[in-house]
Amino acid sequence: MRNVLWFLCLGLSLLVTRSASATTFGFVDQVVYKTASGGTASGWSCDIGCPDNQNIQVDIWRDDGVYLGGSKANVSREAAVGSACHSSNSAHGFSFGLVPGLLDDRWHQVHVYSYTPDNVVSELSGSPLYVYFSSSPPPGPDLTCRAPQVFCAGCDFDFCANSSAQCRRAQDACGR
């Protein structure tokens, strides 16, 4: 039965895609990269054409073409995510480790994309982000956040957030 529903969703998604309105949407909570062993990314994404679809792929790329990682968006999140997706469940989250060994002591623009099973691509809200790829805090002048980003005092280091709400979520996640 589950396979039948997945194929039904895939078919519905293909139908809606042909109307040029199907897409994924969601939000990037955070992308952090501060150790030689890599970093982490989290957020959520869902398929407008098939709200219960849990086969959404999320991939993250750096501005210099380096692939940082990817995962399915099928982790349980708060009920509000299920509501935003018009879904019967809230399992639309992603949280995964990023490729290690990419520290270069530079700021990079990081893009987060989600894909439906039929490869309709969307950049998530909150993307692109500016991430400092270093194990040490960024030097003062480079921490000038580019509008519309805001300065955020993080748990282990300061960073540029896409909104005050994103900053609060990051601080709440680490108990600040």
Which pLDDT score, from 0 to 100, does residue 116 have? 85
C-beta atoms surrounding 125 within 10 Å: 15
Instruction: Return d(Cα 114, Cα 119) in angstroms, integer.
Output: 9
pLDDT of residue 70: 95
Q: In tens digits, what is the pLDDT along the chain, a chain of 176 residues?
A: 434 333 334 333 333 333 334 488 899 998 888 777 888 899 999 998 889 988 899 999 999 999 999 999 999 999 999 999 999 999 999 999 898 888 888 888 999 999 988 888 999 998 998 888 888 776 654 455 666 777 776 655 666 777 777 777 777 766 65
Q: How far apart are CA 28 and CA 127, in angstroms?
A: 7
* Whole-angstrom distance, CA of residue 111 vs CA of residue 61: 5
The closest of 126, 119, 95, 112 to 59, measured between CA atoms, is 112
Look at residue 82 in the predicted model and tell me its pLDDT.
93
- At residue 135, the pLDDT reads 80
Spatial contact of 99 and 58, defined as CB atoms under 8 Å apart: no
The predicted pLDDT at position 76 comes to 94
Domains and CATH numbers, the chain: 23-135 (2.60.40.10)
